[in-house]
Amino acid sequence: MIVEDLLKTISEEITNMVSTKTVIGEHIIVEGKTIIPVTKVSFGFGSGGGEGKKKAGEEGTGGGGGGGASIQPVAFLVVTPEDVQLFNIKGKGAIAQLTEVMPELMEKCKSMMEEKHKQKAGETESD
Distances (CA, A) of 26 to 18, 19, 35, 37, 84: 14, 12, 9, 7, 17
> Alpha-carbon distance 24 to 37, whole Å?
6
**pLDDT at residue 95, rounded to an integer:** 58
What pLDDT score was predicted for residue 46?
76
- Which ranges of the chain have pLDDT less than 50? none
Give pLDDT tens digits for 26-49: 788 887 888 888 888 887 777 777
Evaluate whether 34 touches 28 at the Cβ level (below 8 Å): yes
pLDDT of residue 118: 82
Report the C-alpha gap between 36 and 79 in whole angstroms. Answer: 8
- Name the residue type at position 27: H
Q: What is the pLDDT of residue 4?
A: 75
pLDDT reported for residue 93: 61
The string over 24-42, giving b where at least 16 C-beta atoms fall within 10 Å of a residue's C-beta and e elsewhere, is ebeeeeeeeeeebbbbeee
Q: Where are the domains positioned within the chain?
A: 2-90, 91-127
pTM of the entire predicted model: 0.47
